[in-house]
Structure 1
Amino acid sequence: MQRKAIALLSGGLDSTLAVKVMLEQGIAVEALNFTSPFCTCTGKNAGCKSEAVRVAEEFGIPIKVMNKGVDYLEIVRNPKHGYGKGMNPCVDCRIFLLQKAKEYLEESGADFVITGEVLGQRPMSQRRDTLRIIERDSGLEGLLLRPLSAKHFKPTIPELEGWVDREKLLSIQGRSRKEQFELAEELDVKNYPCPAGGCLLTELSFVGKIRDVFDHSDELNMRDFRLLKLGRHFRIGERTKVIVGRNEAENALLETAVQRGEATLRWSDGPSPLAAVMGRTDADLLRVAAQVLLRYTKAPFGETATVGVTVQDETAPLNVENTLDEAAVERLRV
């Protein structure tokens, strides 16, 4: 009887190798890939989602792509096991993903779960003690196999039952990737664009933007976090934020992101970036948003300027004094 594993597949080197090691042992593998607004792992033309799909297609295995969802945002807001150097709840994140994998394990009729985790590679979530916590709290004790570091742990049920040959598993540990590169060469694994991955939650320069959304949201939604990667952000009201695009590509993305009742602004008398006003759009807030926008145009400072305000495809002119100086704009910047 062929046994089946559910694999967490990011598209990076470690998870790709873990899948390949299982396939080499004749295990059927089905992959899960989780998308997040905080992922920085992007190749030249594609992100981790696309890479995971590419790997799955190359290996001939099915893959299910899942959004982490609003329940994940609540974990980021209040993680049981705390943060790393930024707002990265790495331990809670792994538990969350593996709980989802356990649910899918039961739905799909698979036998166990595999990951590309390597003992000692990541300072927060891949220490021996935290790896035990992750396995326990995910509900996968005995059914979570980490093929790249398996020999550093007690045998799992798949090994004890003979579904997997423990002797063919690995004993990689530490932060060096040398052994993974050698294993990739041995197993003919190529084109791995993001061997280390990346998460905006670890970047200290990004933390303020994340906290700002948490602090000024009546209800969390994924859009607000996806937009954190775009443009310049300004908090102009308790429930109002302005995002000013930095190029035409960002302008286009911001324009499609505004929701019913929100607004976009452009200077009417010359080249202008797009400003998206998210949240409440009271008249006084639109005036401040227009003044912020004008700092990124060639509108003469100190004079009245006209800004086109578009709400639900209807545009109206707004005349404002261009008197918000650079220091005042910076005080509003998130």
Structure 2
Amino acid sequence: MQRKALALLSGGLDSTLAVKVMLEQGIAVEALNFTSPFCTCTGKNAGCKSEAVRVAGEFGIPIKVLHKGAKYLDIIRNPRHGYGKGMNPCIDCRIYLLRKAKEYMTTCGADFVITGEVLGQRPMSQRRDTLRVIERESGLEGLLLRPLSAKHFPPTIPEQEGWVDREKLLAIQGRSRKEQMQLADDLDVKNYPCPAGGCLLTELSFVSKVRDMFDHSDQVNLRDCRLLKVGRHFRVGPQTKVLIGRNEADNQLLEGAMQDGEVALRWNEGGSPLGVVTGEVDEHLMQTAARILLRYTKAEPGRDCAIKLLRNGGEELRQITNDFTEADIEGFRI
């Protein structure tokens, strides 16, 4: 009877190799990929959904793509096991994903779960003690196999039962990727992306936006999280934020993401970025937002300018003085 593994596949080198090692042993594999608004992957550094789907296609295995979902935001706000260097709840994140994997095992008929985790590679979530915690709290004790570091741990049920040949598993540890790259050559794994993806929650410049979002809202949603990566952000009131596009792509994303009650701002006399005011809006806050917007146009300092306001399908003009200095703006910048 052929056994089946459910693989957490990011599309990065480690998880790709873990899948390949299983396939080499004749194990059927189905992949599970999780997407997040906090992933750093881009077109040039494609790690997430697109790269995982590509890898699954090359290996000829099915893949299910899931979003981490709104409940994941609660984990970020209050992680049981704390944060890493930023607001990255790495241990809680792994537990959350593996619990989802355990639920999906029943659906896909998998016998066990595999990951590309490597002992000692990540300082928070891949220490020996935290790997044990993750396995225990995910409910996958004995059924979580880490093929790249398996020989550093007691045999799992798949090894004990002979579903997997332990002698063909690896004993990789540490932060160097030399062994993985050599293994990729040995297994003829080509065109793999950067060795590891990234999480914006580890980047301190981004964390300030996340912290501001949580500090000023009890009802954070996934759209708000996605917009953290778009444009410049300014806090003009306890419940009011202004987002200003950096380029036309940002402008289009902001415009497309607007919700009822939010206001778009543009300088009416020339090309300019789009500004979007979210949260509570009143006349004073609107004027502050418009004055910030004018600093990113070619409007002459000190002059009155026509600002076009777009909200709820209507349009109106306001005369706003372009009198904010760069120092004024910095007082609002997130």
Q: TM-score range by the shorter chain?
A: over 0.9
* Structure 1 range deviating more: 156-165 or 218-227: 218-227
- Provide runs of 4+ in structure 1 moved above 4 Å: none
The structure-2 alpha-carbon separation of the partners of 1:47 and 1:266, relative to structure 1 and needing over 3 Å to count, comes to: farther
Deviation at 1:56, TM superposition (A): 0.5
Deviations along 1:269-312, whole A, 9 cap, x unmatched? Answer: 11211111112222222111111100101212222111111113
- Any idea what SS the aligned residue of 1:315 has? strand
Asked if 2 retains the 8 angstrom alpha-carbon contact of 1:266 and 1:308, the reply is: yes
* Worse-matched range after superposition: 94-103 or 301-310: 301-310
Counterpart Cα distance in 2 of 1:206 and 1:299? 30
Give me the whole-angstrom Cα distance separating, in 2, the residues matched to 1:44 and 1:83. 28
Residue 98 of structure 1 is matched in structure 2 by 98
Deviations 1:211-237 (A, max 9, x none): 010011131101111111111100111
Is 2:108 the partner of 1:80? Answer: no
Counterpart residue identity of residue 315, structure 1? E
The answer as to whether partners of 2:45 and 2:194 remain within 8 angstroms in 1 is no
Does 2:266 match 1:266? yes
Query: Corresponding residue for 2:70?
Result: 70
Decide whether the 8 Å contact of 1:33 with 1:52 is kept in 2. yes
Q: Which runs of 5+ in 1 are unaligned?
A: none
Q: Could you list the per-position Cα deviations for residues 14-69 of structure 1 after superposition, in whole angstroms to 9, with x for gaps in the alignment? A: 00000010011111111110001111133427452100000011111111111111
Q: 1:151 to 1:46 in 2, by over 3 A?
A: closer
**How does 1:174-193 map onto structure 2 within 5 Å?**
174-193=174-193
- Per-residue deviation at 1:107? 2.4
Amino acid in the other structure paired with 1:244 = I
Aligned to 1:153: 153
**Which residue of structure 1 aligns with residue 228 of structure 2?**
228
CA RMSD after TM alignment:
1.1
Structure 1 residues 203 and 240: alpha-carbon distance in aligned structure 2, compared to 1, 3 A threshold = same
Count of matched residue pairs: 334
CA distance in structure 2 between the partners assigned to 1:207 and 1:230 by the alignment? 14
Partner amino acid, structure 2, of 1:100? K
Alignment correspondent of 2:124:
124
Q: 1: distance between equivalents of 2:188 and 2:229? A: 35
Which has the higher mean CA deviation after the structures are superposed, 248-257 or 275-284?
Answer: 275-284
| AA matched with 2:133 | I
Q: Where does residue 166 of structure 1 map in the other structure?
A: 166
Give the structure 1 partner of residue 331 of structure 2: 331
Question: 1:153-178: per-residue Cα shift (whole Å, max 9, x none)?
Answer: 00000000011010110011111101
How much has 1:103 moved relative to structure 2? 0.7
How far off its partner does 1:324 sit? Answer: 2.1
Q: CA deviation at 1:266?
A: 0.6
Q: Is 2:12–2:47's contact at 8 Å kept on the other side of the alignment?
A: no
Instruction: Look up the match of 1:308.
Output: 308
Q: For residues 218 and 139 of structure 2, what CA distance do their matches in structure 1 show?
A: 32
Structure 1 equivalent of residue 37 of structure 2: 37
Does the 8 A contact of 1:200 with 1:206 survive in 2?
yes
- Tell me the residue number matched to 1:250: 250
2: distance between equivalents of 1:116 and 1:289? 46
Q: Could you say what secondary structure the match of 2:121 adopts? A: coil
**TM-score, normalised with respect to structure 1:** 0.98
Q: Contact (CA 8 Å) 1:42, 1:194: kept in 2 or not?
A: no
